[in-house]
Structure 1
Amino acid sequence: MQKKPPVVALILYASFSPFHFSVPYLVFSAAQPEGPLFDLRIVSSGADSLSAERALTVHPDGGLELAETADILVVPGWHDLDARPGDDLVGVLTRAHARGAHVVGLCYGAYPLAYAGLLDGKRASTHWMAEQDFCRRFPRVKLDMNALYVEEDKLITSAGTGAGLDCCLYLVREYYGARVANKVARTMVIPPHREGGQAQFIEQPVAASTQDAQLNILLDYLRNNLDRAHSIDDLAERTAMSRRTFTRHFSKATGMTLVDWLVNERLHRTRELLETTSLSIDRIAGMAGFQTPTSFRQHFKKRFQVSPRDWRKTFSAMK
């Protein structure tokens, strides 16, 4: 006799995102010749039909009571970061976690889990654009802003948009193994597992100027001469300051040490060169001022969690 498929409760909320809803809907609706992999149930508070952001209404299979026995509960995004989930949803999520079900928050769906207190003291992920807001609201959560998705104690949270696919495929692997998950991924024409994390997509701009006019001239000089070695003593002399005064002014104006600022600017330069030229990795390292290609690769991997070569494969405009 065939084992019953795991039950997935896909939770609707007001003004839900059609994309975030469609990701788990597509993955957990996947079927094999032997039958469906999951028993997908769309649920909402009061079994109400709900409208998405634009011109889409979904009629659920029932109310939140259908989630009380689900093996997986999925909150696909969240409509308003200021909005706390209702007591009925908090209760369902809390009871599900207590009985050992997987509780999933995709992208901003980490917010209702955090509001419910489920993520306190645990690692979690969400979209990088919400980092400061999330940390301010939920200081007890250990936010990992590089991870595409994080699982701890059967609580799973993911980064934005496409990372929801990675997260859902992870659950397919958990229940059915890599072979089945790979088949589902191939059907959807997506990679079964992505390397790297969302750190490679986070914008990390460095201010083009500061409020210190004298230092602005120096910063322009440094940006135009990143390939050269620069010492604090030389730059202090260039600005007619003592070493101590220069160090203090530079840190106050940029919020960084000279070394950190140079590494940041050099990495920014290497990203531009990787994306817009076909120059070799070694050549790019030298043009950006890294002493050796090995040093460049180490700094790049530490910052973006992928190699320079993989960055080029992903973002190059020379394809």
Structure 2
Amino acid sequence: MHTVAVLALDQVIPFDLSTPIEVFTRTRLPDGSAGYRLLVCAEYPEVDAGHFTLRAPQGLEALREADTIIVPGTATPSQALPETVRDALTSAAARGTRIASICSGTFVLAAAGLLDGLRATTHWVAAGLLAETYPDIDVDPDVLYVDNGQILTSAGAAAGLDLCLHLIRRDHGSAVAADAARLSVMPLEREGGQAQFIASRHPPSPRGATLEPTLRWMQENLARDLSLAEISARAGMSTRTLIRHFREQTGTTPLQWLHLARVRQAQHLLETTKDAVEHIGSEVGFGSPTSFRDRFKRTTGVSPLSYRRAFR
């Protein structure tokens, strides 16, 4: 039987802790037997969970029994990682144990050095802090989870459920994972590459940056067919200089930023109006309904209609 150990740290987010416990303990194989043996462990017997205290049945030594370790999110992602926890995680990784994080639990894996040189995700609110604190990590804030094989990371709490179902599918196949998904009242088909739903109407636009006036002007003119030459003229720069400054200040190119701005505005209109999808696409600057749907799905992972059903 596959053994899963859930590692609880101080200020653990209760929902992130309960998700793997619920999902893995309810998983049943085709013959009715349990798919997993679950352990809950911590550095000390009692864990501060903010509004209450949890008592962990096992200590860090339980990690040596685990085939998979799950690290839930913590409300204080920047807190120093205890040396004993770091040693336990690095030793587990050296043994080949599969290690996954939920939400801000990614910071724990990062602090243990397990994500250096790898692609990873976390809750979009904390993605900037993760990238700034750990520059050796390729932070992708726009996906539900990232599977690097032995090391996996997921975004917010709901994405942690997606990750758990993904692990079940890896271990026992789609049929068992589908049964676990039904018990969780959760669709199995959400894949890791689906975008996080980011609560912002605008793409990155750093205040005080030299491009801020240009970015504001672009946002105000989304409906127009803005060319790179026109944007460069507005910024008073050559095209080459504009692209360099854009990458430095926003992490993307002018046209990619423009596409993202249009999608974010479309998300807002889908949530707050009853306008037809075709009308919204035209209003935010897409040349055709097809190009709008294609770009929207590439950015968010779902169609405009699916997005509207989810958020209206």
TM-score > 0.5, shorter chain as reference: yes
RMSD: 3.4
Structure whose CA Rg is larger: 1
The answer to which of 291-300 and 147-156 deviates more is: 291-300
Partners of 1:85 and 1:115 within 8 A in 2: yes
Shift in alpha-carbon separation, 1:85–1:229, aligned structure 2, 3 A: closer
Contact 1:182 1:192 in 2 (8 A): yes
Question: Which residue in the other structure is 1:106 paired with?
Answer: 102
CA contact (8 A) 2:68 2:100 kept: yes
Provide the C-alpha distance between the structure 2 equivalents of 1:167 and 1:232, rounded to a whole number of angstroms. 39
Q: Which amino acid aligns with 2:151?
A: L
Tell me if the contact between 1:200 and 1:306 (Cα under 8 Å) persists in the aligned partners: no
Unaligned runs of 5+ residues in structure 1 are 237-242
Query: Displacement, 1:182?
Result: 0.9
Q: What are the residue-to-residue correspondences of 1:106-185 with 2, within 5 Å?
A: 106-185=102-181
Change (3 A) 1:34 1:228: closer
Cα distance change, pair 259–28 in 1 and its aligned pair in 2 (3 A): closer
Match of 1:44 in 2: 42
Question: Which residue of 297, 300, 304 corresponds with 1:304?
Answer: 300
TM-aligned CA deviation for residue 269 of structure 1: 3.4
Matches within 5 A, 1:1-319: 5-32=1-28, 34-46=32-44, 48-55=45-52, 57-195=53-191, 197-203=194-200, 205=202, 219=217, 223=220, 227-229=223-225, 244=233, 247-248=236-237, 263-315=259-311, 317=312
State the alpha-carbon separation in 2 of the partners of residues 152 and 40 from structure 1: 23
Does the CA contact (< 8 Å) of 1:148 and 1:197 recur in 2?
Answer: yes
- Higher alpha-carbon deviation: 286-295 or 118-127: 286-295
The secondary structure found in structure 2 opposite 1:74 is strand
CA distance in 1, matches of 2:285, 2:98: 48
Change in CA separation of 1:210 and 1:34 when aligned onto 2, cut-off 3 Å? closer
Following superposition, the deviation at residue 267 of structure 1 comes to 3.0
Percent identical across equivalent pairs? 32
| Amino acid across the alignment from 1:299 | R
Other structure's SS at 1:163 match:
helix
Q: Which amino acid aligns with 2:275?
A: L
Q: Please, which runs of 5 or more residues in structure 2 have no aligned partner?
A: none
> Is residue 144–residue 194 contact of structure 2 (8 Å, CA) maintained in 1?
yes
Give the SS at the match of 2:15: helix
Whether the aligned pair in 1 keeps the contact of 2:41 and 2:59 (CA below 8 Å) is yes
The aligned residue for residue 240 of structure 1 is none
Distance 1:259 1:100, change over 3 A: closer
Cα separation, 1, equivalents of 2:228 and 2:73 = 47
